[in-house]
Amino acid sequence: MHKQNRKAFIEKMGNGGVAIFASAPPVKWNHDTEYLYRPDPNFYYLTGFEEPESICVIAPEHSKYQYILFVRPKDKQAEIWNGKRVGVKDARRRYGADKVYPIEKFSEKIGKYLQGAERLYYTLGSNEHVDTEILSLFTQSVRSRIRSGKGFDTLVDPSPILSELRLIKNETELQRIQMATEITGAGHAAAMKAVRPGMYEYDLEALVESTFRMNGAGGPAFPTIVASGDNATILHYTTNDRQIEDETLVLIDAGAEYGRYCGDVTRTFPANGTFTEAQREIYQLVLDAHYAIIDGIRPGVSIDEPHQKSIELLTESMLSLGLLKGKAEKLIEKEKYRQFYMYRIGHMLGL
């Protein structure tokens, strides 16, 4: 999968380019503990490599090596504390690199892969340490080009190319997203079956996330939202510490991550198993819009069309409920619906 991803990226690069991708840096929790590591999505998409302190170089026109990795070497003492490392030798065997170096050799070795390049592809802002090195290389190259006519003088962000490539999923990616979504559904179903007034939001959070893990997920794809009552009006509420009251609704926004690919589902349900009359009326209007929008999705439909349809349907619903007054067209033109619907209908899924 990753080899095909690199091939597709190289085709988009054109002649005269070299690309450098840095792994995401670890993030400290406190002085001797780090947050659970997650690789940079673009880096993972091209390499499949999941360790920090690593760099990928893609040099399509190099005479000998076109795919180069710089990785952490094996370190017996460090591995006692933080787990096994792939190391230089196994990185080449397992990840298909033409050449692998210890990460400490990057500054020394990178020059040979930049010779003859006209453009350097690199995304600034995701790894401060590597940014500094890249900007230094760029400055040196520009000066060299002024003096001798040799060296690259263009720095290009590869993110737009990769964003476009990542829109279209291959069969492996589709299988992982399918599995992530099925596991996500299992977590939601477990919460719906278990919920009772008097429980705490974090009880359901723990149940959802343990269901993810027991079904093979690596964990949650993002911080799980369990919002009861008016907490559900906070779009990215993650405190999850309120006691769930009778006759309130519970909103869960949660997704499992499987093979680094993400599920993402939001559902709302009554804490005691029965909607009040007002809750049912609003829920039904939203559900009707939900099915109408899904019915209109097919190849060739732009991502904005379902969203625009949702605005039209939900604005009509707000009028029927008395939340808005006036003509639907004028209300949409003035974005009055945003008092109650300030989000978009959906977003892409993947890494």
Question: What is the pLDDT at residue 31?
Answer: 85
Contact 116, 18 (CB under 8 A): no
Record the tokens describing residue 324, joined without a space. 């808005």
Contact 73, 85 (CB under 8 A): yes
**pTM of the complete model:** 0.92
Contact 127, 23 (CB under 8 A): yes
The reply to whether 171-339 shares the fold of 2-167 is no
Phi, psi of 204 (to 5 degrees): -70, -35
Number of H helices, E strands in the chain: 12, 14
What residues does each domain of the chain span? 2-167, 171-339
CA distance 220 to 253: 11
pLDDT digits (tens, 9 = 90+) for 34-46: 999 999 999 999 9
Question: What is the pLDDT at residue 14?
Answer: 86
Record the tokens describing residue 172, joined without a space. 């492996």
Closest CA to 16 of 53, 49, 61, 73: 61
Which of 3.20.20.100, 3.30.200.20, 3.40.228.10, 3.90.230.10 is the CATH number of 171-339?
A: 3.90.230.10
Contact 51, 95 (CB under 8 A): no
Q: Which pairing describes strands 249-254 and 33-34: parallel, antiparallel, or unpaired? A: unpaired
pLDDT digits (tens, 9 = 90+) for 310-343: 999 999 999 999 999 999 999 999 999 999 999 8
pLDDT tens sequence for the chain (351 residues): 999 999 999 999 989 999 999 999 999 999 888 999 999 999 999 999 999 999 999 999 999 999 999 999 999 999 999 999 999 999 999 999 999 999 999 999 999 999 888 999 999 998 999 999 999 999 989 888 888 878 888 999 999 999 999 999 999 999 999 999 999 999 999 999 999 999 999 999 999 999 999 999 999 999 999 999 999 999 999 999 999 999 999 999 999 999 999 999 999 999 999 999 999 999 999 999 999 999 999 999 998 999 999 999 999 999 999 999 999 999 999 999 999 999 898 899 999
Question: What is the pLDDT at residue 145?
Answer: 83
Closest CA to 111 of 87, 143, 134: 134
CATH code reported for the domain at 2-167? 3.40.350.10
Question: What is the pLDDT at residue 304?
Answer: 93
Which DSSP category does 335 fall into?
T
Closest CA to 107 of 20, 8, 216: 20
CA distance 69 to 57: 6
**Residue whose pair of structure tokens reads 């993810």 in the numeric block:** 212
DSSP per residue, 171-182:
HHHHHHHHHHHH
